[in-house]
Amino acid sequence: MAKVNVKDLSRDELARFLVSMGEPAYRADQIWDWLYRKYVNSFADMSNLPRELRDRLAEQAFISWPTLGKREEGATGDTTKYLFVLSDGEAVETVLMRYRSWNALCLSTQVGCAMACGFCASTLGGKIRNLSPAEMLDQVLYVQAECQRKGDLPVTRVVLMGTGEPLDNYDNVRKFLHILHDPDGLNISYRRVTISTCGLVPGIIALTREGIPVNLAVSLHAPDDNLRDQLMPINRRYPLAQLLPACREYGEATGRRVTFEYTLIAGINDSLEHARRLSRLLAGFNCHVNIIPLNPVRERDFKPPAPEAVARFCAFLKKRGITVTQRRELGREITAACGQLRRGKGWGEKNWE
């Protein structure tokens, strides 16, 4: 029988697993503390468990821990990119972003991505597979343990904006979120977690129904269906007439303001006419627009607009009453910025040159 990765189990599932071994359910709380507070990766290190139980656990289960393929530091010290090699040889990228009073982690939810957005590196090579809850948790745990060793600020915010579409891996992401949120474990509040989606409407509806109050960031990138169809093929399945009501309902149900991410691409979606259409589209919507000047991807022909064009676009939206900010640029020099993360295997050597 295949061994169980205990990080793929919720706390209740872990308790049931231990009861099936003839152990009391409270052992789950002890193991949980070792996994998510002390960051151990061996049952042998769980000193408050009987030795016989530790031996049996090692026979029937295992604790995953990521293999670091490479680490790269940004020039200004505010960004670190990690290449984590998975058990099957695939690899994903994760980014630690340092702010004045907190650290945030951008993590991946899939190996590759099936959404085929035309300006994003994550879609190169397509989707290979989903990440398990454990593989997502391991990204957080590795970086959290490293921050602790180095005396750095802990990770207190998590953004699901690495490779993959989180809502295309809904069940695993949901379990990951519940474990991440557990107050006796990593204890990262839902309200400090952001899920970025290209617009998978069924996933947004599912989040709404389950009442998971994370921050929702929707990759919009165009003010109308015609342009969005070209940039983001998912729009042909879920056009704006379906996407915007789902976002509005999510905001109303959770009390969270929805963020619309808008990557500005020179000559494509950055004119004042595009800004005018966008302001009309979002009029009366309790939302926030996050403007992202395009981060170049070498396989794509798109270019970022001039700074003046970015400023004009933002100023126009503000005059129309739209809450807008320009995203802080982090990690572009190590291809760790928005839209630059990618599948590791088959791309990693080139990407880490």
Q: pLDDT for 299-334, tens place per residue?
A: 777 898 999 999 999 999 999 999 999 977 765 555
Q: Which of 14, 35, 62 is the last residue of a domain?
A: 62
Q: Which of 20, 45, 62 is the last residue of a domain?
A: 62
Distances in Å between the Cα of 311 and the Cα atoms of 219, 275, 304 are 20, 11, 13
Q: In the structure, what pLDDT confidence band is assigned to residue 353 with cuts at 50, 70 and 90? A: very low
Q: In the structure, what pLDDT confidence band is assigned to residue 77 with cuts at 50, 70 and 90? A: confident
**Where residue 54 sits, what CATH number does that domain have?**
1.10.150.530
Integer Cα distance of 88 and 96 in angstroms:
24
- Asked if 174 and 313 sit in the same domain, the reply is yes
Q: Is residue 105 within 8 Å of residue 155, measured between CB atoms?
A: yes
pLDDT at 302: 84
- Asked if 166 and 186 sit in the same domain, the reply is yes
H/E stretch holding 351? helix 348-351
Domain extent at residue 147: 67-351
- Asked if 149 and 265 sit in the same domain, the reply is yes
Give percent of the chain with pLDDT exceeding 70: 93
Q: pLDDT for 82-134, tens place per residue?
A: 999 999 999 999 999 999 999 999 999 999 999 988 888 777 888 999 999 99
Three-state SS across 226-269? Answer: HHHHHHCHHHHCCCHHHHHHHHHHHHHHHCCCEEEEEEECCCCC
**Where residue 243 sits, what CATH number does that domain have?**
3.20.20.70
**Closest to 36 measured CA to CA, from 182, 176, 174:** 182
- Asked if 282 and 185 sit in the same domain, the reply is yes
* CA neighbours closer than 13 Å in the CB half-sphere of residue 301: 3
Least confident residue range of 17-21, 155-159, 327-331: 327-331
**Closest to 141 measured CA to CA, from 17, 337, 5:** 5
- Asked if 8 and 119 sit in the same domain, the reply is no
Q: How many domains does the chain have?
A: 2
Distances in Å between the Cα of 335 and the Cα atoms of 49, 274, 330, 332, 340 are 44, 28, 9, 5, 5
Q: pLDDT for 212-256, tens place per residue?
A: 999 999 999 999 999 999 999 999 999 999 999 999 999 999 999
- Asked if 77 and 20 sit in the same domain, the reply is no
- Asked if 125 and 219 sit in the same domain, the reply is yes
H/E stretch holding 134? helix 133-150
- Asked if 325 and 296 sit in the same domain, the reply is yes
Q: Which residues are catalytic?
A: 93, 338
- Asked if 236 and 157 sit in the same domain, the reply is yes
pLDDT at 346: 40
- Asked if 119 and 23 sit in the same domain, the reply is no
Beta 110-112 vs 103-106: how paired, if at all?
Answer: unpaired
- Asked if 46 and 186 sit in the same domain, the reply is no
pLDDT at 153: 95
What the block records as the tokens of 239 is: 């056009």
Q: In the structure, what pLDDT confidence band is assigned to residue 200 with cuts at 50, 70 and 90? A: very high
- Asked if 35 and 92 sit in the same domain, the reply is no
Q: Is residue 238 within 8 Å of residue 267, measured between CB atoms?
A: no
